[in-house]
Amino acid sequence: MNSNAPKTGAEANSWLGRPKSLRRNALHIGQFLGGFVSLFLTWHLVATYVVPSVLFPPPLNVLGKAVLLFQDGTLIENVWASLKRILLGFALGSLLGMPIGLAIGSFAIVGRILEPWTEFLRFIPSVAMITIAVIWFGIGEESKIFLIIYTTIFVVILNTAAGVSAIAPNKLRAARALGASSAQVFIFVAFPATVPYILTGMRLAMANSFVTIVAAELIASDVGLGRMLWNGRLYMLVDEIFVALVTLGLLGFSVDRIFRVLVKRLAGSYTT
């Protein structure tokens, strides 16, 4: 079989390839960090020299405030409150959305029955649902989790259903010719073939969750990053507002990175 030896990744990364790709990775990470530094540097320069005002604190002041809030526990308390709501609602929304999306994509009848639901509800933004959620569930955890589920579920459903319809027909045919029953085709082929689409849907839903949780906490809540922003406005604590904003950016960025790595890693082995 030497006549057509494969050019696998491992072979391409032989004695010459590997150090080169390592160096390239280090370079990419360096450029990326450089981008971050330039963001904060620009902020610093603008806040110090262009618009020096208490209403626009430079990054070092914000960092100082963040350390203080971290030490007295307020920052952690607020971050944890928001993150818990997001993770719980997001997990529930994804777990509900996945099987519904799989069913819509796999069975035409289910699709025709459920599509009016998803097509109607997905155009009512979760932010518009805040008032009714508070009336129904109060200002506690339930209303937030309801809103996060609401904002997650439709994106996951739509992406999962799209993923199912993108499966190569030959995969399903091959499975049937190998003796798989309809249920087995569903579990062992349709579901794994759809995983990259599900993850992409979840990644989009995660971004939506951040929007929704801040809006919901701004309007009705006693703790959370949204609450922190609202308090900042009430008492003119501009630096606290900035701490909350930067925290949101960093949290969202980290979660999205985790998803990107997951999607990339799985997409490699889950798609042809």
Which residues contribute to the site for other proteins (CB under 8 A)?
Answer: 1, 3-10, 168, 170-171, 173-181, 184, 188-189, 192-193, 195, 268-272
Nearest alpha carbon to residue 242 among 6, 53, 32: 53
**CB closer to other proteins, 117 vs 188:** 188
Task: Output the smallest distance, CB 262 to other proteins, in A.
Answer: 14
Task: Output the smallest distance, CB 198 to other proteins, in A.
Answer: 13
**CB closer to other proteins, 42 vs 271:** 271
**CB closer to other proteins, 172 vs 225:** 172
**CB closer to other proteins, 183 vs 234:** 183
> Which token pair is 156?
């996951």
Rounded CA separation 249/35 (Å): 15
Find out whether 138 and 199 touch, Cβ atoms under 8 Å.
no
Task: Output the smallest distance, CB 180 to other proteins, in A.
Answer: 5
Nearest alpha carbon to residue 80 among 217, 261, 253: 217
Task: Output the smallest distance, CB 48 to other proteins, in A.
Answer: 51
Find out whether 9 and 21 touch, Cβ atoms under 8 Å.
no
**CB closer to other proteins, 21 vs 254:** 21
Find out whether 150 and 97 touch, Cβ atoms under 8 Å.
no
Integer Rg of the chain from CA: 24
Task: Output the smallest distance, CB 103 to other proteins, in A.
Answer: 21
